[in-house]
Structure 1
Amino acid sequence: MDKVYNVLVLCTGNSARSIMGEGLINTLGKGRFKAYSAGSHPGGVVNPYAIEQLKSIGYPTDTLRSKSWDEFATPDAPQMDFVFTVCDKAAGETCPIWPGHPMTAHWGFEDPAAVEGSDEEKRRAFQTIFRQIMCRVRAFISLPLERLDAAAIKREIVDIGKTQVMPLPESCAKDDLDPVVQ
């Protein structure tokens, strides 16, 4: 059986970007990856616009919850292979020591939950960030991890976080990413 890579996606509140990252990795990774999400200061509620985006690709949302990254720093937690921060605030915080010493990278995205305005403006902000996360996730899951050494993998995941996400490349348009369910 091929190795399944555990991935932890971190943000401060664990209500939007990290939740969407978890769902995208689990969906697009097609069983090759098992993603989780958490926050340094979880807000306790998953943003309904994040749930809406995940439902659009057929990701089950009934078990999603905003939770602390402390849950993943315990000896009995799943051992992570990768930890990605998706907000600048979480990237600057002192993270717990993760069992297994996973590879880490920062993939910063603007906070769609901070957008003020109409429901349609908020929805558009979430769609934009969702597609940006999807673009980086697609680059990550396409890496030939089994054939790369640790230094090459680290370089690749850091470079993915440096890729320009605005404006969104045409190659990362949502329709081109083969979501599980349209």
Structure 2
Amino acid sequence: MIHGRLSYTAISTTLTDTTNSARSSMAEAILNRIGDRGFRAFSAGSDPAPEPMPEVIERLAVLGHDVGGLRSKSWEAFTHDGAPPMDFVIALCDGFEGRACPDFGGVAVTAEWPLPDPARFEAGAQRLLLINELYASLRRRLEAFANLPFASLDRQAVKVWLDELADVVRA
């Protein structure tokens, strides 16, 4: 941070949820694609699934996202010594079922964007509809996030913007 303003060469963002199988994996792929202007997105979960949800991977691939590197992983991968430092941590679910987010180095700006988990629905039309709605919602939020004028904002202003993006609903 320079003179109270945020200054980045590459903005590292971790997107978290419980299983790292749908919401956060989707957000990682979206931000890495739209954020080619200097973002590095990662995803993680408090209790990661064995692998990302196949319907999510399929949808992302159909939409032209690189899914080759997507895998479910624990957020502990980003909390140890030597882990990439995070500028932002965005939680995509409500409170991790009573678990608190870990410390990602103490300097990350944090936000919560509570979104429904497709894993709570059985495979089928209802789950696919939710995946499509989540994709659209995440894309809108992450586009707005990626286009924030970071050089002219301080940490508190970015936090306010991130919190406001939590309220973005279907257009």
Q: Same fold (TM over 0.5)?
A: yes
CA RMSD, Structure 1 to Structure 2 (Å): 1.6
Q: How does 1:13-24 map to 2 (within 5 A)?
A: 13-24=19-30
Q: How does 1:117-156 map to 2 (within 5 A)?
A: 119-156=124-161
The answer to whether residue 35 in structure 2 is matched with residue 34 in structure 1 is no
Q: Name the aligned partner's letter for residue 160 of structure 1.
A: L
Q: Name the aligned partner's letter for residue 129 of structure 1.
A: L
Percent identical among aligned pairs is 35
Which residue of 110, 118, 130 corresponds with 2:116? 110
The answer to whether residue 163 in structure 2 is matched with residue 158 in structure 1 is yes
- Alpha-carbon distance in structure 1 between the residues aligned to 2:54 and 2:30: 16
- Alpha-carbon distance in structure 2 between the residues aligned to 1:162 and 1:136: 9
Which stretch of the first structure deviates more once superposed, 77-86 or 61-70? 61-70
SS at match of 1:30: coil
Which residue of 73, 79, 85 corresponds with 1:73? 79
**Which protein has greater RCO, CA pairs closer than 8 Å, 6+ apart?**
2
CA drift at 1:45: 1.3
- Alpha-carbon distance in structure 1 between the residues aligned to 2:26 and 2:83: 21
> When the two structures are superposed, what TM-score results if normalisation uses the length of structure 1?
0.84
The answer to whether residue 101 in structure 2 is matched with residue 95 in structure 1 is yes
- Alpha-carbon distance in structure 1 between the residues aligned to 2:161 and 2:22: 25
Structure 1 match to 2:4: none
SS at match of 2:36: coil
CA drift at 1:102: 0.2
Structure 1 match to 2:55: 49
Structure 1 residue runs without a partner (length 5+): 170-182
Moved over 6 A (4+): none
Q: Name the aligned partner's letter for residue 52 of structure 2.
A: V
> When the two structures are superposed, what TM-score results if normalisation uses the length of structure 2?
0.89
- Alpha-carbon distance in structure 2 between the residues aligned to 1:92 and 1:5: 29
**Does the 8 A contact of 1:46 with 1:66 survive in 2?**
yes
SS at match of 1:46: coil
Structure 2 residue runs without a partner (length 5+): 1-7
SS at match of 1:162: coil
Structure 2 match to 1:4: 10
